Amino acid sequence: MTQQTKASFKVSEVIQRLADSGIGFTACHDGPAGMITVTLTPGQLEMYWNDPPTAFASVYGVSRDDYIAWHAAGYMAQCGNLTARGRRCRNAVVDGHLVGSPDRWLAMNGGYCKIHGEGFS
Ligand SMILES: [Zn+2]
């Protein structure tokens, strides 16, 4: 095989050929209880080739920033209410510790903790 032949394949073509042959794609990322394995479509595998967080964000239907924020928050959905001093409450929302996926985390983040959910401030 010459160099030119090797270079003539685009990443997307290689991925599509593999997919057409019945080969599936999975990738792993950190989660609250260890590594999480997800299945990637051929399009998502191409994203993964360029930038893994973009591919994982696509799997969950969230933005890349939200996927990163889920990790950065330690998988905790934070109460969106303000304390009596006007600062953002630092408590987790109800059941908001170690949220297992970024789409669920996004839906829960900014909700109410136990205290604010009961109307106290
Ligand atoms: Zn709160």
Cα 71 to ligand 1 centroid, rounded to whole Å: 21
Q: Side chain identity at 36, as an amino acid letter? A: I
Q: How far is the CA of 62 from the centre of ligand 1 (A)?
A: 24
Torsion angle of the four alpha carbons 57, 63, 64, 70, in this order, in degrees rounded to the nearest 10: -80
In the predicted model, is pLDDT for residue 22 greater than 80?
yes
pLDDT surpassing 80 at residue 121? no
List Cα–Cα distances, 31 to 16, 64, 71, in angstroms. 29, 16, 8
Output the CA torsion sign for 95, 35, 69, 59: negative
pLDDT at 5 over 70: no
pLDDT in tens, 75-92: 999 999 998 899 999 999
Cα of 76 from ligand 1 centre, angstroms? 13
Mean pLDDT of the chain: 93
The gap from C-alpha 42 to its chain's centroid, in whole angstroms, comes to 18
pLDDT of res. 6 = 56
Model confidence, pTM: 0.86
pLDDT tens digits along 88-98: 999 999 999 99
